[in-house]
Amino acid sequence: MKKIILSIAMFVTLGTMSAFADSSSVNPKVLTAFKNDFKNTGKVEWSEGVNFFKATFTFNGNYVFAFYSADGDLLGLTRNISSLDLPMNLQRSLKKDYSNYWISDLFELASKNDTSYFVTLENADTKIVLKADANGEWSSYSKEVKE
């Protein structure tokens, strides 16, 4: 399960999927599961990854991305958030330990049993992706030096 969650997080940040706007190419099991999970969502855009389908839609006023396996199992949900939406301890930690960086991306990943946060921080020389989960502490997910 952790590999699936990490795969979702990587695909969200890197965006490596084939996209199609209508649902004609989506596995019927996935469509049925989505309709059962999210009623009255309005327009849904679908894209396909290596081992999953991604639905992009609006839910309660937020853009949400739902990831499903080919069998129709909901793998996780992501949504972009503001730093003000982070738990207070995570906000404080970012301010304290990464004050010389700016936030270029921040999203919440909710799966069946866990909620994680991923933040991309940048400065002139470095791009860092951090992950925080239930224990409430940031850990390094990836780091790259800008050229």
Task: Yes or no: say if 57 and 41 are a contact pair by the CB < 8 Å rule.
Answer: yes
pTM: 0.78
Query: Across residues 41-67, what is the average pLDDT?
Result: 90
Residue 43's contacts (CB-CB under 8 Å, 6 or more residues apart) are 57, 58
Q: What would the CATH number be for the domain defined by 83-145?
A: 3.10.450.40
Instruction: Break the chain into its structural domains and give their ranges.
Output: 2-76, 83-145
Of 19-28, 50-59, 104-113, 135-144, the range with the lowest mean pLDDT is 19-28
pLDDT over 70, % of the chain: 83
Task: Yes or no: say if 57 and 78 are a contact pair by the CB < 8 Å rule.
Answer: no
Helical spans, DSSP H, in 55-132: 88-97
- Say yes or no: do domains 2-76 and 83-145 share a fold: yes
Query: Across residues 43-61, what is the average pLDDT?
Result: 90
- Quick one: 66 exposed, middle or buried, by C-beta within 10 A (0-12, 13-18, 19+)? buried
Q: What is the model's pLDDT at position 12?
A: 52
Q: What is the model's pLDDT at position 44?
A: 92
Question: Does an H or E element contain 14, and which?
Answer: helix 2-14
Q: What would the CATH number be for the domain defined by 2-76?
A: 3.10.450
Is the dihedral angle over the CA atoms 87, 88, 89, 93 positive or is it negative?
positive
Of 22-26, 32-36, 87-91, 140-144, the range with the lowest mean pLDDT is 22-26
Using DSSP's 3-state secondary structure scheme, residue 21 falls into: coil
Query: Across residues 9-23, what is the average pLDDT?
Result: 50
